[in-house]
Every structure is written in C-alpha cells, then in structure tokens.
Amino acid sequence: MDHEQAFELLPGYIDEELSLSESLEFERHLAGCEQCKRAYEQQRQVSAQLRQNDLRMDAPPELAARIRAALPVQRSWWQRLGASFGGSGRLGGKGRAVGTLGWAPLGAMAVSLVALTWSAGLYLSMPSGDTRLTEELVDSHVRSLQFDHLYDVISTDRHTVKPWFDGKLDFAPPVVDLAQQGYPLVGGRLDYLNGRAVAVMVYRYKLHPINLYVWPGSEAGTTPHIYERQGYHLAHWSAAGMNYWAVTDAGESELNGFITDLRAHPAS
C-alpha cells in the first residue's frame, strides 16, 4: 500500500468503515510510515474534537416553545376517523347533526389496508438468517476469486498457516493437511461473516478452490448437508465447538470426499 492509497482509506479507518482486510492492510502500512502516522493522528484529533459536548448548543426555551406552538395538533386515529365520517352534516330531529358518510374515508382506509398488506408481505418474504448467511458465503467465495484475494498467507504447510492466525482472531482454528487425500492446503485468509471475523482455510481439488470457513459455535448439527446455491456447492456442520462451512465450484461428490477426509483427520 502506498501513501495515496493510505490517505484514501484514512477517513474510513477512523470512522471504522473499512473491511477487516482493508483495516489490517492499512495498519501494516501505518506501522512503518511516519508521514501517515502524523496524518492519522491529526485527523483523529479533529474527529475527537467534533464529538465533544462543548461544541453543541441547546435551543433556548423560548425557541422550543414557539416551535411546539407552530406544530399542527396531532389527533388520534379515532379522532381523525370520527371527523372524516362526520362530513358535512345536516340537522335532524331536535337539532342534532346527522353525518353523511362519504367515499373519501373509505378510500383512505382501503389505501392503508393495501399498504399494510404489502408491508406484511415484504416482511414475510425477507430471507431468513440461514439464507442471508448462505448468500454472504457465496458472495465471499466469489469475491476471493474475482479480486485475487484467495489467501492472505500462501503455504502448503499447516505449521505455517495455523500460526499466521495467532493474534488476528479470538480463537485458534484447526488447520488440517489433506494433500495425501487429494485436497492440498494452499493457504489461509481472514474474512468477515455473520457479524464476526472468521478464519478461512483454502484447499484445492485439482483446479477447484475449496474455501473452508471456521468460527466458534455449534449452530448446525454434526451431520454435514450439501446443497447448491448459484452454481456452487456448500456444506455446513459443527464439530468440537466450531462451525464449519465449505464452499466450492467442484461437484457434490468431490466436496463430500473432502468433508469425509477432513472429519476423519484427528486434528479436525
């Protein structure tokens, strides 16, 4: 990362808007660049000053009272409905006003009912948590291939990949070597899924990359289930207090073989 790239990422880093990989790359550059350190400290101080309470001013009571007085009176729904149905009245017996029912209130109620029905349908059609996570996983797998970010550390040695995660995660992911089974380890990387940082071990089956996502938890059962999304095969299972997701463009039988060999390994 050069100075120009660092300056572009600096505001996003201060506001915590960068991705995990961008933040790590920025911090690596910042550790060895005095010029960027000074720029970061200056912007950090300005940002902190803008958040201080003494820069804020409460409105005078007189101004607040005038604003409240100028606001329209908020009537309840029943009051508005009663006024609408009152309409233009005529005098009945003993001088009592008899309301005439117009079409306008009925039309407004119909529009409200349609809007309510549409909102309920939209809510019910929203994807579930599992569906959203599956979409996140497929998107992450595709991004790793498109932007040449398949791995942060490149190595076929599990004793190189596993220590690389030390200090970068709040857990130690299991890293297994399956080269003899036809699924060589080629590296690892960090990613961000389901609201947290996760470890990704990258394997290959011939020319097909297999992304294995791991983070603590046991949301899934111990039996893997393989299914297809957008042309990719995915599998999900839990073991030894860890969640596992595997994503690949290889076939179902190849993914099933990878999972079988992985789960049979004593280090998994």
pLDDT in tens, 170-202: 999 999 999 999 999 999 999 988 788 999 999
Least confident of 10-14, 29-33, 121-125, 150-154: 121-125
Percent with pLDDT over 70 in the chain:
74
Q: 144-163 pLDDT, tens per residue?
A: 777 567 778 888 898 899 99
Fold of the CATH domain 3-53: Arc Repressor Mutant, subunit A (1.10.10)
Structure-token pair, residue 63: 């101004």
**Burial class of residue 147 (count of CB atoms within 10 Å of its CB; 0-12, 13-18, 19+):** exposed
pLDDT for residue 15 is more than 90: no
What pLDDT is stored for residue 2 in this prediction? 75
* Residue with the two structure tokens 């979409």: 135
* Residue with tokens 């309920």, as numbered in its chain: 120
Residue 69 has pLDDT above 90, yes or no: no
Greater confidence (124 vs 18) lies with: 18
Q: Do domains 3-53 and 129-264 have the same CATH topology?
A: no
Report which of 258, 212, 266 is spatially closest to residue 240, judged by C-alpha positions.
266
Q: What are the structural domain ranges in the chain?
A: 3-53, 129-264
Nearest to 219 by CA among 201, 202, 195: 195
Listed residue (70, 6, 1, 71) closest to 37, CA to CA: 6
> Which CATH superfamily includes the segment(s) 129-264?
MucB/RseB, C-terminal domain (3.30.200.100)
Which residues 6+ apart lie within 8 Å of 43 measured at CB? 10, 11, 14
**Rounded Cα gap, residues 1 and 77, in angstroms:** 59
Alpha-helical segments (H) within 17-59: 20-31, 34-50
CB-CB neighbours of 190 under 10 Å: 19
Average per-residue pLDDT in the chain?
78
Residue 267 has pLDDT above 60, yes or no: yes
Task: Choose among 182, 181, 198: nearest CA to 190.
Answer: 198
243 has pLDDT over 50: yes
